[in-house]
Amino acid sequence: MTAPPVLVEVERSGVVESVHRGLVVIVDEAGDVLLAVGEPDTAIYPRSALKPLQAAGMLSAGLDLSGSWLALASASHSGEPFHLAAVRQMLAAVGLSADDLQCPADWPYDVAAEREYVAAGHAASRVAMNCSGKHAAMLMTCVHRDWPVADYLVPGHPLQVSLRATIEELAGPIEMASTDGCGAPLWGLSLVDLARSFARLPAAAPLVVHAMREFPEYVGGTTRDVSHLMRAVPTLAAKDGAEGVQAMSVEVAGRRYGVAVKIADGTDRARAVVAAAALQWLGASPPAVVDLLERPVLGGGRPVGALRMAPGALPPRM
């Protein structure tokens, strides 16, 4: 595989200290490629960027979910108190509890939330795991359909078969399969197909997109860049994933686009910069987007450089 191009530079006192390589694809609502930096057909594991597609699959399977709970079904939440309370409420609504979750026990994703959680005397738990909202919604779907809950993560379970069918309907052929960090089946796609699936998402699953836009803090958290971006760009639905992935659906000037980003070294800090640059390339540049384009590099607690897009990393839009 050809090495992806350099997208982001880390500059300290005028010296480029390190670089991050990656891939970017932007498509229009017809699925035509408008921008491809690197090889758009590269197959990746989208990781948690698949969650909105999985949420769409749960709705297709008959789950009646909306609002903040649907946003949480699409989330990698920060583990703040309102996230944990909502997960417990979702489970209780179908007569289940945290004991029915099969994601691994974990600590809250957000550093401040984790500190508060530990200070309150809590242990690592399945509810605190950042994927617990998706798992709670999966269990709700199983109860609604009278499917067994004990093995809901098995790839051959009716739930997972149904979710895979929805992903293939939105994105095209699945190229590889594995298990995600939360224990759920993980499906691999080409980067361009991931972008196309998000371009199609508003038409295919408007409730999911509406929930993400209306409740962005439930998709991420009060300190998370994806949540801040959705607050700043009302037509944006954005989902980050582990190993430097982000997928987005956005409308700019009345036109809908799908965006997919993959950072080769899996670095989260580079993901946020490139996602903001892709939105700027499309013409969405509110302050929250601009603020992510150049992030300070600190020395002794004060800025001595910046993390920014490499010159010419994204070609000018014609």
Q: CA-to-CA distance for 142 and 149, rounded, in angstroms? A: 6
- The domain 6-62+154-309 having CATH identifier 3.40.50: the answer here is no
The H or E element that residue 145 is part of is: helix 132-145
Q: What is the pLDDT of residues 141-161, one digit of tens each?
A: 999 999 999 999 999 999 999
pLDDT at 1: 56
Does residue 287 surpass a pLDDT of 60?
Answer: yes
3-state secondary structure of 274: helix
- 227 pLDDT above the threshold of 60: yes
Percent above pLDDT 70 for the chain: 100
- The percentage of the chain sitting over the pLDDT mark of 90, rounded to a whole number, equals 98
Taking residues 245-268, report their average pLDDT: 97
For the segment 180-190, what is each residue's pLDDT rounded down to a tens digit? 999 999 999 99
Residue ranges per structural domain of the chain: 6-62+154-309
| 3 state SS of 305 | strand
The residue type of 105 is: A
CB 10 within 8 A of CB 19: yes
- pLDDT value of residue 141: 98
pLDDT at 2: 78
Q: Per-residue pLDDT tens for 27-79?
A: 999 999 999 999 999 999 999 999 999 999 999 999 999 999 999 999 999 99
What does the pLDDT read at residue 143?
Answer: 98
pTM of the model: 0.96
pLDDT of residue 318: 75
